[in-house]
A and B are shown apart, each in its own frame.
Chain A
Amino acid sequence: MKQAYETSATLAGYNFAFLDEQTKRMLRRAILKAVAIPGYQVPFGSREMPLPYGWGTGGMQVTAAVIGAKDVLKVIDQGADDTTNAVSIRRFFVRMTNVATTEKTREATLIQTRHRVPETPLSEGQILVYQVPIPEPLRWLEPRETETRKMHALSEYGVMHVKLYEDIAQHGHISTAYDYPVLVNGRYLMRCSPIPKFDTPKLHMNPALQLFGAGREKRIYAVPPYTEVKPLDFEDHPFEIERWPEDCALCGAHDSFLDEVILDDKGGRMFVCSDTDYCGERREAGHTGRMSAPYKAEAAE
């Protein structure tokens, strides 16, 4: 079976990239509008995709609309190339477009991501597609869609600060750790999908085109290359990113987003890069961490 997919250009009976051309055109119109108005949520006619809502249907539709036969696709889920969601989506696009795939951030022209921005800096010409569960930053503060639209239209974003105020009042610091609210191009308040706030500064003045797709909520928005993206904060409680007590146990990186892995029930733990490609690349280049020796030696500790 596998052989058949790789030989035929696309799966018989399906259009290139699954969606029909009319639908892709509609999506591209929405994307163009989104690029023209950075941070503005453009409604679009979301289609049924062959996986459930919440699994990245929005991101997949955006990817399907912009992918070309010469693209090199990378799909990550929480930074990893080898998790279920990433593997299924990558395999889907291979079957539907027969494009080349890669795990290397540098080699990819199109990256679909769930909940992370790759550690390796992106460059001009690359497109980063985010999967967005809830696009509306004001949703939990104002349940009415008509009202939030009006608030966006009139730039009434004071209530977002009420939420951050509440964070500080209850926890002593801004405890919003992911999906951090940002102001795009000095105008629209935007949710940057549930990426950790560690990644938020990477959106600012990024040379790559960043597209956001929310399938269930039927919204597309974008941050064009070199656009100002400013996290909201208070003068006396400025925006800060997470820090970890240790470096990556495998590659020794101290500048990447780390996952904490519990090793046993005696308090053993390790911190490891969430971006598997970045970690692997560093190890290849000869960097080592606390546990990068064979695992047995560590278990004895």
Chain B
Amino acid sequence: MTPDLEQTPLLSVELLNKSFGRQQACRDVSFDLWPGEVLGIVGESGSGKSTLLNAIAGRLSVDSGKVLYRTGANSIIDLASASDAQRRHLMRTEWGFVQQHARDGLRMGFSAGANIGERLMALGDKHYGKLRDTALDWLQAVEIAPERIDDLPRTFSGGMQQRLQIARNLVTRPRIVLMDEPTGGLDVSVQARLLDLLRRLVQEHNVACIVVTHDLGVARLLAHRLMVMRRGQVVEAGLTDQLLDDPQHAYTQLLVSSVLSV
């Protein structure tokens, strides 16, 4: 049984469609995500990247298609048709979602420690001392000074907020983390540090990631595999280096050539 399961993807999206009125945001998108793999989705703004991500996470209802997820208990769930209860449970246990703007993903009125502990408390962890120890460990893991544990996120810099958001998501050791422009809006040096950190954490915890970005540099550094989207369709997909070094589709060629040096 086990080798077979190793051969099945963690997540497979089949012919996903989503439109807003006449505007088709995602058209027949299909892909597989394997355990521990980092998949990058690139494309210009308005190409349907974020819509796709939100549809996968169940934040948007899809028009048609399947989002099949293999759970930790090795059963397959179609998230597109799963019940609210099931989906919301997965979202705070086996899944994580890192928002572009940290303040959307954090509870700004609560301290860093409370933010990290929230998912654990939602799962029934009711020991203050242990919650605090876990929070301290995670602050260290994302390079935030432990003495900031009781500070509010709004006293943090943008980069720190983003790292706090990552810690808050990884605390339940999710199997998939979706990231929407995780480095958007950060200055270049902070971006580099965050990318290093992300790469390390993803490797250490063996989480599969879907990273939406318009920055090919980020994609090159983080992603094992890339998908290029344009007008709601996937125009090209493949290994990151292969795709960036030898783009086949005209749009990908345009995208790659528009960046000075990747």
Report which A residues bind B (CB closer than 8 A). 150, 154, 156, 158-159, 161-163, 165-166, 168-170, 233-237
Please, which residues of chain A bring their CB within 8 A of the CB of B113?
A: 165, 169
Check if A161 sits within 8 Å of B84, measured CB to CB.
no
Known A-B contacts A166-B111, A168-B128, A234-B128; the reply to A158 vs B123 at CB < 8 A is yes
Contact pick for B126, options A154, A166, A234, CB 8 Å: A234
Q: What DSSP secondary structure best describes chain B's contact surface?
A: helix
Among residues of A, the one whose C-beta sits closest to the C-beta of B111 is: A169
A-B contact pairs, 20 of them (CB 8 A): A154-B84, A154-B85, A154-B88, A156-B88, A156-B122, A158-B123, A158-B124, A159-B121, A159-B122, A161-B121, A162-B117, A162-B121, A163-B110, A166-B111, A169-B149, A169-B150, A170-B111, A234-B128, A236-B127, A236-B128
Among residues of A, the one whose C-beta sits closest to the C-beta of B88 is: A154
Please, which residues of chain B bring their CB within 8 A of the CB of A150?
A: 84
Q: Give the complex CA separation of A92 and B196 in angstroms.
A: 70
The total of chain B residues at the interface (CB under 8 A) is 24
Check if A235 sits within 8 Å of B127, measured CB to CB.
yes
Please, which residues of chain A bring their CB within 8 A of the CB of B62?
A: none
Q: Give the complex CA separation of A260 and B260 in angstroms.
A: 73
Q: Give the complex CA separation of A161 and B132 in angstroms.
A: 13
Q: What DSSP secondary structure best describes chain A's contact surface?
A: helix
Question: Any chain A CB within 8 A of the CB of B3?
Answer: no
B56-96 with Cβ < 8 A to chain A = 84-85, 88, 92
Report which B residues bind A (CB closer than 8 A). 84-85, 88, 92, 107, 110-111, 113-114, 117-119, 121-124, 126-129, 131-132, 149-150
Question: Which of A150, A159, A161, A237 lies at the interface centre, i.e. has the most chain B CB atoms within 10 A of its CB?
Answer: A161
Contact pick for A166, options B84, B110, B119, CB 8 Å: B110
Please, which residues of chain A bring their CB within 8 A of the CB of B111?
A: 166, 169-170
Question: Which of B111, B114, B117, B129 lies at the interface centre, i.e. has the most chain A CB atoms within 10 A of its CB?
Answer: B114
Check if B127 sits within 8 Å of A162, measured CB to CB.
no
Across the A-B interface, the 9 shortest Cβ-Cβ residue pairs: A158-B122, A161-B121, A234-B128, A158-B121, A235-B127, A166-B114, A165-B114, A162-B114, A169-B150
Please, which residues of chain A bring their CB within 8 A of the CB of B123?
A: 158
Please, which residues of chain A bring their CB within 8 A of the CB of B88?
A: 154, 156
A165 CB, nearest partner CB in chain B, Å: 5
Among residues of B, the one whose C-beta sits closest to the C-beta of A168 is: B128
Q: Give the complex CA separation of A37 and B261 in angstroms.
A: 64
Question: Which of B92, B110, B111, B132 lies at the interface centre, i.e. has the most chain A CB atoms within 10 A of its CB?
Answer: B110
Among residues of B, the one whose C-beta sits closest to the C-beta of A155 is: B85
Contact pick for A162, options B92, B118, B132, B150, CB 8 Å: B118
Contact pick for B131, options A156, A159, A165, CB 8 Å: A165
Please, which residues of chain B bring their CB within 8 A of the CB of A168?
A: 128
Please, which residues of chain B bring their CB within 8 A of the CB of A158?
A: 92, 118-119, 121-124
